[in-house]
Chain A
């Protein structure tokens, strides 16, 4: 650690993480680890049915069991008129059902809470929950989105008069950002129409959600395993009618989120209501199976795309018609999540005309909301899939087709047909580097050889040249999209008497390594040692202002707030340093933590200035004895990471098994603060995107029961299911912030899914396969190959192959999907 005396060059340095020390030794503070004196435990009785009238609740036996403090329905708690909030009214006429924290007289999805039991310990609570009797009259479930929109469909919420939540439209002709897409389709030399299915996914963070509420202090304190303590605080106050200054929310160590903990959950309200009623601390920790039905799900869209082009491959228009599954209720950003993709279907390409419509629909399934990428993976999947379809239609090399249409590096900044201003990027550079790392030409040659030899194991190459919009902010744009809050971020820097530094950030990490990265940023700015900085976060009492962590926003918004706060500290310190050195401020230069009189060796370190400020014996006239500074940053624009992802899959045409042979990606996330952390984020993102392509699906049976509701049935990939990735970067700095950073949390997930599916199809397209739904399980791939072969054979030739079943690997890889 000799470097500690040379605090320069922190940006871009592969610092090992500060967070690790407690995490590798078990000295962690997960919410479920918290034990308070007299604490009670809550268990929730959930509906096993998707749609039913509650005809009776018998809590008599349960409430008499040993250790039971109470058994409550919504009415018992006075919660029947409370509604779990939605902060995104996407259209003025959007339909919003009431969403009480426990079902009142009707359950709308399997897993919805009906009764809460409180007892002295978790086992007693569980026992008593098992003794609660609930009688139901079953109603027909509403499972299929298109059927739900049809006339005469069973209504999820009859009081709304429809299952349609909202219809949201963007049209480039109307917006003045491009032409008329219908005209483009009429004039097209080639039209490609495709329907893609975005299956439902479950975020599957490793730490189940947990809440502890202590009502015994002057402020009510809630610990919650959440990504968004500030939003939870404000929403708890608003929803329950508590004064906001009487609520403190703490997100202690949080074990992953991926959007799944970007939520204000019914269980938070229930825990508060019960803790206040009983006057004792109360804990709720979910089981994994409970988490899978009760945590919001993600994706769940039907995507109809129509792409217009010329025969030379130039794209001329894109029409996107989405149907998005809201599930049974609107959570915090449920209706807006698909719209985060509205501006991304055009990808990196220069479409002259674009129209996007999204129909949001209610079903009797678990509510959906943000899951890593939130709207943008869906958009990227669709455009990158259909670009391959266009290439196949035209017989063009798919990478050449993309290059013909993408924005050239000299064309930035570029205003897209969706109205976004892409500030910077270099798709040529990332692609060239990725091709080289991937040995693209060599793999294409091998692919040809295998095709010619009719090898039973075929090789496919999948491409995804993606961009995304992230760094969620800017408040102005969020407001224009009718989101209820802004997107600024806050930071404070406290200079302690001894020259050590406390950095307070409003973002709330749950695995991203902000304590390390923010230390690097501030060390770089203030010229103090990395080790001398403590990063504080995740408690509304010590970090009172913030918008929390999601949407790859923490660094590009919150990190910049820390930079700006540090700059204010330096400006205050400069005045005091000038006073100490008896010179004018203009004579000072600040570098490596030291104010030096230009051309001399007379200097004061920022630590010396901090102590002088603390002592306050002799400060400039009118100056407060404090260097501490706050900053709130609200960027003018999103940031636009991009990259080129290349995947080679081997597809066994006899078994349907897909193996990733190699995966290479070059991401451009702008300036990098810590390359270790960036690489780790890319790896994890890739794993989740690949999991959508090959493994994961939330499957419902015809009754509306989630049948992939445990980790035995929902295939979160293990180490044995994934390859090693070749990752690299190009760096085109963002112009929207002083560090040039863009954000990296979602990039890998957004980019990888289409790369993998394109590779699977590329391996078998020559056999006549044109599409395979995700996840591309062995059984689905095998069936697609069989049916293409069957279609290729003459009808007189009988084949019974299709009845042969799933083939090797289908049982462990399909997740009950077929």
Chain B
């Protein structure tokens, strides 16, 4: 067992974990963060995507011991004060989900994608979501949602405040 200290969705945890425990299993089984799900065993589907220190990772490809001292944001930590993240809202507005199983990972990846390129075109969005599989939607409305969120997350022209956090990490 190895002791780790980690901040998940704004709460700090200190836990002893087996070296082989995957981050996704730590989140789901130890912390009850079942919003993050497992869709495959080869890191192809992206359903388990979370943010690790502000960047997206597939939490099935990270060991829990590797996140010692880090901040994790899951789908459950995105909404602030009852306010949906603009990406969550855009998925709802654009009917970008059906069964919803891929949705948490898809939303986390889409936010990261906008962190890299706040004004992507359709092609960039499709390429940026390549590691996240959806079987229901044919992706068309997911792409539409990400473009819609990008539009809404644009900082206002001549704004004095900082652009809103794109890939938030509990900050």
Contacts and interface: CB of A to CB of B under 8 A. Distances in A.
A684 B135 contact: yes
Contacts of A205: 99, 101, 135
Contacts of A712: 42, 44
B17 to A, nearest CB: 12
Given A24-B103, A25-B35, A288-B40, A16 B92 contact: yes
A677 B32 CA distance: 32
A256 interface: yes
A370 to B, nearest CB: 15
A591 interface: no
Contacts of B136: 206, 256, 511, 680, 684
Interface residues of B, number: 58
Interface in A1-50: 16-17, 19-28, 30, 32-33, 35
Interface stretch (B61-69, B124-132, B151-159, B161-169): B124-132
A676 B84 CA distance: 21
Interface stretch (A308-316, A626-634, A718-726, A765-773): A718-726
A716 interface: yes
Contacts, number: 177
A255 B100 contact: yes
Contact of A687 (B102, B139, B143): B139
B92 A26 contact: no
A329 B114 CA distance: 48
A258 interface: yes
Given A24-B103, A27-B35, A711-B133, A719 B45 contact: no
Contacts of B122: 724
A128 interface: no
B39 interface: yes
Contacts of A28: 34-35, 37, 100
B99 A254 contact: yes
B41 interface: yes
Nearest to B9: A26
A32 B39 CA distance: 11
Interface in A656-688: 676-677, 679-681, 683-688
Interface string B9-24: 0000000001011000
A208 interface: yes
Interface residues of A, number: 58
A442 to B, nearest CB: 22
A26 B143 contact: no
A384 interface: no
B40 A711 contact: yes
A268 interface: no
B101 A26 contact: no
B69 to A, nearest CB: 24
Interface string B41-71: 1101101000000000000000000000000
A812 to B, nearest CB: 11
A625 interface: no
Nearest to A203: B135
A286 to B, nearest CB: 10
Interface in B89-106: 91-93, 95, 97-104
B99 A207 contact: yes
A35 to B, nearest CB: 8
B42 A289 contact: yes
B117 to A, nearest CB: 15
A208 B38 contact: yes
A207 B44 CA distance: 14
A287 interface: yes
Nearest to A33: B34
B111 interface: no
A688 B135 CA distance: 8
A26 B39 contact: no
Contact of B98 (A33, A680, A688): A680
A711 B45 contact: yes
A679 B144 CA distance: 13
Contacts of A748: 138
Nearest to B92: A20
B135 A19 contact: no
Nearest to B143: A719
A207 B40 contact: no
Contacts of B84: 24-25
Given A255-B101, A719-B130, A720-B127, A207 B39 contact: yes
Given A719-B139, A719-B143, A711 B93 contact: no
Contacts of B116: none
Contact of B102 (A206, A686, A710): A206
B150 interface: no
A32 B24 CA distance: 13
Of B34, B101, B127, B139, chain A has the most CB atoms within 10 Å of the CB of: B101
B98 A512 contact: yes
A26 B41 contact: no
Nearest to A510: B99
A253 interface: yes
Given A20-B97, A256-B99, A287-B41, A204 B135 contact: yes
Given A687-B139, A722-B139, A17 B45 contact: no
Given A256-B101, A718-B131, A719-B130, A24 B91 contact: yes
B134 interface: yes
Nearest to A688: B135
B42 to A, nearest CB: 5
Interface in A241-259: 253-256, 258
A206 B135 contact: yes
A23 B93 contact: no
A513 B88 contact: no
Nearest to A287: B41
A22 to B, nearest CB: 8
Contact of A686 (B35, B44, B97, B138): B138
Nearest to B47: A206
Contacts of B47: 206
A106 B44 CA distance: 34
Contacts of A255: 37, 99-101
Nearest to B101: A255
Contacts of A725: 138, 140
A683 B137 contact: yes
Given A720-B130, A722-B138, A206 B39 contact: yes
B132 A718 contact: yes
Given A25-B76, A684-B136, A712-B44, A719 B129 contact: yes
B7 interface: no
User: What 5 A-B pairs have minimum CB-CB distances, sorted nearest first?
Assistant: A26-B35, A511-B99, A23-B100, A255-B101, A683-B138
24 contacts: A16-B93, A23-B103, A24-B75, A25-B78, A25-B84, A26-B33, A26-B34, A26-B35, A26-B74, A28-B37, A30-B37, A32-B38, A33-B34, A123-B21, A206-B45, A255-B37, A288-B40, A511-B98, A676-B95, A680-B95, A684-B136, A711-B44, A716-B135, A719-B129
Given A24-B75, A720-B127, 12 more contacts: A16-B92, A24-B107, A33-B34, A123-B20, A205-B99, A680-B141, A687-B139, A688-B135, A718-B133, A719-B134, A720-B129, A722-B140
